[in-house]
Homo-oligomer: A and B are copies of this chain.
Amino acid sequence: MTTDKFMQAAIDEARKGLAEGGIPIGSVLVHDGKIIGRGHNRRVQQGSAILHGEMDALENAGRQPASVYKEATLYTTLSPCAMCSGAILLYGIKQVIIGENTTFLGEEQLLASRGVGLDVRHDEDCKKMMRDFIEAKPQLWNEDIGR
């Protein structure tokens, strides 16, 4: 169990997605000690190709000035894929907290090479959630990561 309330909020989002029949990845965008956007993967729920957890959190945060993104921290239960990493780079988010990168390793190297600070928590709850999901629905998981 994480003791970080923001990572817990991201995990809660992932679990909400799972309960909806979706892919259990969640994310929150934090600025000035407050969650300004929260979201989870909506591939199944909305037939979406772009609403990964991180994208959904960014979308739900709404239009923000560059100054907010630059001071914000993105929490995500899973290592961010190329699309979500690209969004992080577009908006100049400088800090990303990652639940785990064991079941899927995203574009962490690219992010680090551009100066984004990464903190991988190796969270057992996040790992178990994804392991169980990938085992149960491998095709859906492959679709979500373009395989």
A62 to B49, CA, bound (A): 6
- Name the interface residues of A62-95: CB closer than 8 Å to any CB of B: 62-66, 69, 81-87, 89-92
Q: Decide yes or no: A146 and B66 within 8 Å by CB, A48-B59, A50-B55 being known contacts.
A: yes
Return chain B residues, CB-CB under 8 Å to A49: 58-59, 61-64, 91
A47 to B59, CA, bound (A): 9
Give the oligomeric copy count. Answer: 2
Residue with the highest number of chain B CB atoms closer than 10 Å, among A47, A66, A87: A87
Chain B residue with Cβ nearest A43: B63
A101 to chain B, nearest CB (A): 16
Query: Size range of the interface on A?
Result: 20 to 34
A107, CB-defined interface residue at 8 Å:
yes
A147, CB-defined interface residue at 8 Å:
yes
A135, CB-defined interface residue at 8 Å:
no
A147 to B92, CA, bound (A): 8
What are the 7 tightest A-B residue pairs by CB atom distance, in nearest-first order?
A: A86-B86, A82-B89, A82-B86, A83-B87, A83-B86, A83-B90, A91-B146
Interface residues of A (CB under 8 A from B): 43, 47-50, 55, 58-59, 61-66, 69, 81-87, 89-92, 107, 110, 142-143, 145-147
Q: What are 29 A-B pairs at a CB distance below 8 A? A: A43-B63, A47-B62, A47-B63, A49-B59, A49-B62, A49-B63, A49-B64, A49-B91, A50-B50, A50-B55, A50-B59, A63-B143, A65-B143, A66-B142, A66-B146, A66-B147, A69-B146, A81-B86, A82-B86, A82-B87, A83-B86, A83-B87, A86-B86, A86-B87, A86-B107, A90-B145, A90-B146, A92-B146, A110-B110
